[in-house]
């Protein structure tokens, strides 16, 4: 088995057990194969050149981290990655804030990652690069002469060509992407959009009957969809155990028998938080029998401080939560509990298990693992209901067993809440059964095995 080299902007800390789909799966693959996980250290070197690569050996895994200069972070991370690619891929052209300077910084930082990575790579290593921060990395490595199999996985949506091609460096990025051997996306719709972008801009064409194989200037590469998942069994175990702990029992007591509704999302404009708050208010106003009988807990850790859009959103959501509590609350009841903190997997798993329904209503999302975690955490005998946006990647797999909503339609979400809180046990069990089957058939270990097996079969030194 070849060694594995993984590159992602964020690298989970080796000091804590891995949390979340990507970290769990990649960690397991690296443990089996041995290899390197490279990325940003999370620290800035200010205006000084970053020092040498920080290397740390943990058994078969080498963590290789680098600081980045403040200017690099501003142009690469906050700039092109999070103020252009992120909104664009989530269909928010209106929020993109493009500058040539940021684009140049983005390419420069990718070259810098390539220069730091190349000396660590052996000729038969598999290289797996993750997400929109690192799109040009393979092309940089090729320019340095690397002939390894190199794969890319896009964790966020790939938008329709009319949206994507508004990006001034859009075609340049597409060209760079033809340097990969395997390009993985979350859903078939993402693959289709990407293939349309290649064709529309005349950069590559599908090979007839080639099952995702495309050709650009004599070079062949494959596209495929690989829906990321979670360690469903492990998460279910965590949930079963965690509901028993003291803190969670106290939390349950604090609900005083009310029906718990839960939402867990990074503070991000893609998550549909204002619309969700408004829909909850509409549910309460339209179903007064439920006043005083539900608690909606929204857990929303802040993220990407420094990007202006996020700060404005933070104020908006806090104000909405405050208004609902102010207008509908009673002496002994607050309809919303809004918490800007990150919690451990244990606590989240227990919250999911206690909640009668989860609101996963992003305006657009690559996959959304909260949806899958919520399903895994349920008690199959008395499961809760997943209310899911049809614009989350997860809807392609979980559509049948979830209550699907259009996140732009507040009334539809309000009606879905009303349906979910009073759904009979039989129907809940039936829907949960469908969802649990999906998670059983394809978990996050299948995801990484499937991806790496395809990468091993594709391209390579002669490709
Ligand atoms: C999304 C992206 C990841 C990113 C994460 C957190 O899930 O797909 O690449 O790491 O958000 O965002 P942050 O900017 O804090 O790394």
234 within 8 A of 326, measured Cβ to Cβ: no
Q: Are strands 126-130 and 4-10 parallel, antiparallel or unpaired?
A: parallel
Among the listed residues 133, 155, 214, 432, the single catalytic one is 155
- Is residue 463 included in any domain, yes or no? no
CA-nearest residue for atom 10, ligand 1, is 10
396 within 8 A of 369, measured Cβ to Cβ: no
243 and 224 in one domain?
no
pLDDT score recorded for residue 460:
58
**Ligand 1 center to residue 304 CA distance, Å?**
9
168 within 8 A of 98, measured Cβ to Cβ: yes
89 and 35 in one domain?
yes
Q: Which atom of ligand 1 is nearest to the CA of 133?
A: 9
**Ligand 1 center to residue 266 CA distance, Å?**
9
The pLDDT tens digits along the chain (463 residues) read 899 999 999 999 989 888 877 898 899 999 999 999 999 999 999 999 999 999 999 999 999 999 999 999 999 999 999 999 999 999 999 999 999 999 999 999 999 999 999 999 999 999 999 999 999 999 999 999 999 999 999 999 999 999 999 999 999 999 999 999 999 999 999 999 999 999 999 999 999 999 999 999 999 999 999 999 999 999 999 999 999 999 999 999 999 999 999 999 999 999 999 999 999 999 999 999 999 999 999 999 998 887 889 999 999 999 999 999 999 999 999 999 999 999 999 999 999 999 999 999 999 999 999 999 999 999 999 999 999 999 999 999 999 999 999 999 999 999 999 999 999 999 999 999 999 999 999 999 999 999 999 999 987 544 4
122 and 180 in one domain?
yes
**Ligand 1 center to residue 89 CA distance, Å?**
13
**Ligand 1 center to residue 219 CA distance, Å?**
31
255 and 172 in one domain?
no
Q: Which of 10, 41, 129 to mutate to test the pocket of ligand 1 (most atoms within 8 A of CB)?
A: 10
Among the listed residues 125, 365, 432, 443, the single catalytic one is 365
Pocket around ligand 1: residues whose beta carbon is below 6 Å from it?
Answer: 10, 131, 155-156, 303-304
208 and 309 in one domain?
no
201 and 288 in one domain?
no
219 and 277 in one domain?
no
Q: Is the pTM of this model over 0.95?
A: yes
**Ligand 1 center to residue 33 CA distance, Å?**
25
CA-nearest residue for atom 7, ligand 1, is 155
CA-nearest residue for atom 14, ligand 1, is 304
- Is residue 213 included in any domain, yes or no? yes
102 catalytic? Reply is: no
- CA dist 398 and 262 (Å) reads 18
- Is residue 52 included in any domain, yes or no? yes
Q: Which atom of ligand 1 is nearest to the CA of 81?
A: 14
pLDDT score recorded for residue 21:
75
225 and 237 in one domain?
no
Q: Which atom of ligand 1 is nearest to the CA of 8?
A: 9
365 catalytic? Reply is: yes
4-10, strands of its sheet edge to edge: 54-58, 61-68, 35-44, 4-10, 126-130, 150-153, 182-185, 219-225, 213-216, 205-206
Q: Which of 303, 305, 307, 364 to mutate to test the pocket of ligand 1 (most atoms within 8 A of CB)?
A: 303
CA-nearest residue for atom 4, ligand 1, is 10
φ and ψ of 3, to 5 deg: -70, 160
CA-nearest residue for atom 5, ligand 1, is 10
**Ligand 1 center to residue 156 CA distance, Å?**
9
Q: Which structural domain range is residue 243 located in?
A: 232-441
Cα 381 to Cα 159, 404, 443, distances in angstroms: 39, 22, 22
367 and 309 in one domain?
yes
267 and 221 in one domain?
no
- Is residue 93 included in any domain, yes or no? yes
239 and 128 in one domain?
no
φ and ψ of 221, to 5 deg: -150, 160
- Is residue 462 included in any domain, yes or no? no
Cα 258 to Cα 139, 291, 297, 331, 333, distances in angstroms: 55, 10, 12, 15, 10
282 and 223 in one domain?
no
445 within 8 A of 25, measured Cβ to Cβ: yes
- Is residue 387 included in any domain, yes or no? yes
**Ligand 1 center to residue 115 CA distance, Å?**
23
Q: Domain count of the chain?
A: 2
- Is residue 128 included in any domain, yes or no? yes
Q: What is the CATH number of the domain that holds 342?
A: 3.40.50.2000
Cα 91 to Cα 85, 356, 388, 433, 458, distances in angstroms: 10, 31, 18, 33, 31
């Amino acid at each position: 088995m070849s060694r594995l080299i993984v590159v992602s902007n964020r690298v989970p800390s080796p000091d804590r057990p891995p949390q979340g789909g990507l970290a769990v799966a990649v960690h397991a693959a690296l443990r089996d194969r041995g290899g390197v996980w490279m990325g940003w250290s999370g620290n800035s070197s200010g205006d000084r050149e970053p020092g040498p690569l920080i290397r740390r050996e943990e058994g078969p895994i080498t963590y290789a981290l680098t600081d980045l200069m403040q200017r690099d972070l501003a142009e690469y991370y906050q700039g092109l990655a999070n103020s252009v690619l992120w909104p664009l891929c989530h269909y928010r052209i209106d929020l993109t804030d493009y500058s040539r300077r940021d684009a140049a910084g983005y390419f420069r930082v990718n070259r810098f990652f390539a220069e730091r990575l190349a000396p660590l790579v052996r000729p038969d290593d598999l290289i797996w690069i993750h997400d929109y921060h690192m799109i040009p990395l393979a092309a940089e490595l090729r320019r340095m002469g690397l002939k390894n199999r190199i794969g890319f996985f896009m964790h966020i949506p790939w938008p329709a060509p009319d949206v994507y091609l508004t990006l001034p460096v859009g075609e340049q990025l597409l060209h760079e992407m033809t340097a990969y051997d395997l390009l993985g996306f979350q859903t078939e719709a993402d693959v289709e959009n990407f293939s349309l972008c290649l064709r529309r801009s005349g950069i590559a064409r599908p090979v007839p009957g080639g099952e995702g194989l495309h050709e650009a200037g004599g070079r062949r590469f494959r596209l495929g969809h690989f829906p990321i998942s979670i360690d469903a069994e492990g998460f279910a175990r965590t949930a079963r155990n965690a509901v028993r702990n003291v803190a969670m029992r106290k939390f349950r007591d604090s609900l005083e028998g009310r029906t718990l509704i839960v939402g867990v999302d990074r503070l991000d404009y893609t998550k549909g938080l204002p619309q969700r708050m408004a829909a909850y208010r509409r549910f309460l106003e339209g179903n007064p029998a439920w006043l005083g009988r539900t608690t909606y807990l929204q857990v929303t850790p802040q993220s990407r401080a420094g990007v202006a859009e996020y700060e404005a959103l933070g104020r908006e959501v806090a104000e909405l939560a405050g208004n609902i509590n102010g207008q509908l609350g009673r002496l002994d009841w607050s309809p919303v509990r809004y918490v800007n903190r990150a919690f451990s997997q244990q606590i989240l798993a227990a919250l999911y298990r206690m909640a009668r329904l989860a609101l996963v209503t992003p305006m657009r999302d690559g996959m959304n693992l909260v949806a899958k975690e919520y399903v895994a955490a349920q008690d199959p005998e008395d499961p809760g209901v997943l209310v899911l946006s049809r614009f989350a990647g997860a809807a392609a797999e979980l559509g049948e067993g979830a209550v699907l909503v259009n996140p732009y339609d507040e009334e539809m979400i309000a009606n879905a809440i009303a349906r979910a809180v009073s759904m009979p046990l039989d129907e809940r069990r039936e829907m949960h059964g469908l969802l649990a089957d999906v998670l059983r058939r394809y978990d996050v270990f299948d995801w990484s095995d499937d991806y790496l097996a395809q990468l091993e079969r594709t391209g390579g030194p002669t490709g």
